[in-house]
Amino acid sequence: MAIKTKDYLAKVRSKTGLSDYKIAKKYDINQSNLSKYKSGKMALSETHAWLFANILGLSPAEVVANTKLEHAKLTNNSSKAKFWQEQLESLVNDSMPLKIDIAQINPIVGDLNGNADKIIDFSLKAFETGAHLLVFPELALSGYPPEDLLLRKGFIAQIESKIEQIRKQLPETMSILFGAPAFINGCLYNSAYLIQHARVRCYHKQRLPNYGVFDEKRYFTPGQTPMVFECQGRRIGVLICEDAWDEAPVNAVVGYGAQTLISLNASPFQVGKHNQRLQTIKQRVLENKVDFVYVNMVGGQDELVFDGGSFAMNSKGEITHQLPFFQTIIHSLNTPMMIHSTETMEKTIYDALVLATKDYVEKNGVFNGAVIGLSGGIDSALTLAIAVDALGSEYVQAVMMPYEYTSDMSLEDAKAQANSMNVDYHEVNIHPMVSSFNMQLSPLFTGMQSDTAEENLQARIRGTLLMAISNKSGKILLTTGNKSEMAVGYATLYGDMSGGFAPLKDIAKVMVYRLAKYRNSLNYVIPGRVIDRPPSAELALNQEDRDSLPEYDELDAILALFIEQKHSVEYIIQQGYNKDTVRRIARMVLNNEYKRRQSAPGPKISQNAFGKERRYPMTSKFQP
């Protein structure tokens, strides 16, 4: 890759911190010549090429060869251009090993301007540090998943414009690889764009996932052809995410002569996913005896959270670089980095929830913080901790809304946590409102026993108040319910289900307790009594969750078998669980699909989360 005079000048300017005027003065360069160097109208003289090489710590022979090649091209001397191109390639291949940088970035879906600026800025920084190739994740320009934005012609047109903008702003000697949609001959592809020597090449993803949270076949056409390109004498093959999970695309690109494989990924987090990636890539590496670079996206996007964790593996299947999880980072593979995966499951899940909450609130750009109904119970306590860690205490408001069934312990513990986390805290007694509602409804309820209707009324009043505060303050209301409760419908529609985002939506109740204990291990913020006391909705006198539900360790185990592993009722009973309990729980899950369809989005961490991943009919007579 030939480097031009203007590129060398830019490097000198960056390294010395001098303006062009001061460079001319300090190094006795004619100002007119320097202006021609800057505009690309003249190549460096041999003297100045040697001078710049010394300033930049480069091989003088290589800088001279580059400038001789540039001069030959400017004067249209093809024979000399060919000669100096050969000399340059020989020098470069002998003296400069390939330097690949990984850009583990956090793009925003649809923010084409912001994402393009990131790609350009990071590319220029990598160029200044001597990178030959910078690699971004899958669909880095559009964000992932762009969903039905892909069906808008204006969206695709803007993407094409941004790709051209990126190409024009890159130095010709810088190679980058990034993901973006490509519309070619009436077909839309999930593509990897290579910009190299100021030219653009495309590779189209061959294996399109259409399971779980993925529905790429709705939008994209599969590619058919492998792509291999050369950088610093190294032949590099390109893959995109799912391609690497199938041996055929990998074998094909190796068959084209690839020595190193690079995979661009937007692989969402779920518990245990990273180990699956490592095992799959190791298998491909050992099958083909090639080096492998795996670049993954990071950040929250609606119900998904991407954990990063990019890595490199040598041809022996050994991990040579492991990048951090849940962090934006640009890293050179010429610099060792090994983040040992000794983190506990609790830490990994907690970090995922914090990042998902932070990005949902901040990326939307319409909220100035979060408000939470703090009950004195474990779910709202954990949600408050997540919100503060995600947004900062100054952007979080907690509201306690006691009624006659609210215990003194709940009041004390809610206030204690709010104080320990330094959040804006208020108490609003809902007794007058509940009494007024009951009075207005009494003619309609005459002769009927009090039941869950009166209990749910309390939750709905609280939900109304919290939504009013959200509207007035501009803060998003975070829903505090967990997966176990949502599974069996142990939540009040338009009550405690009110809100814009549910951080615990995919967190089973037993894991809620484990996460609370983990958070307290960092610093003690959740009162111990909140963790130790029996859980209760406190909507009736002496009420506890176990009055209506099995103990949560049993409930969560049954739900995991039924929801996440999709086993039948009979299979679950055969595992030793009470048949009546299993059948009741299964009925509750299926009967409450309509509630979940109206619930707030929340981050996926399990292998089968409620939301876009789990699509069950609300009306169904199926008996599992």
Catalytic positions, written as ranges: 138, 205, 241
- Tokens 């050969």 correspond to what residue? 86
SS3 for 266? Answer: coil
Whole-number Cα distances in Å, 486 to 312, 503, 610: 40, 13, 9
CB contact at 8 A, 55 and 63 = no
CB contact at 8 A, 254 and 280 = no
CA 205, 147, 244: angle at the middle one, nearest 5? 25
Tell me the residue ranges of DSSP E strands in 215-279.
228-231, 234-240, 260-265
- 130: left (phi > 0), else alpha (psi -120 to 50), else beta? left
d(CA 451, CA 432): 20
Q: Which helix (H) or strand (E) holds 190?
A: strand 187-196
CB contact at 8 A, 331 and 101 = yes
CB contact at 8 A, 91 and 59 = yes
Report phi then psi at 182, rounded to 5: -130, 130
Instruction: Outline where 243-377 has alpha helix (H).
Output: 247-255, 273-288, 345-364
DSSP state, 403?
Answer: -
Whole-number Cα distances in Å, 138 to 207, 219, 247, 266, 320: 13, 15, 19, 5, 22
d(CA 114, CA 267): 21
d(CA 226, CA 207): 12
- 538: left (phi > 0), else alpha (psi -120 to 50), else beta? left
d(CA 442, CA 439): 5
CB contact at 8 A, 176 and 190 = no
Report phi then psi at 614, rounded to 5: -110, 110
Contacts (Cβ under 8 Å, ≥6 apart) of 392: none
Whole-number Cα distances in Å, 491 to 218, 226, 437: 34, 51, 20
Cis ω on the peptide bond leading into residue 145 (within 30° of 0)?
A: yes
Q: Is the dihedral of CA 577, 484, 213, 309 positive or negative?
A: negative
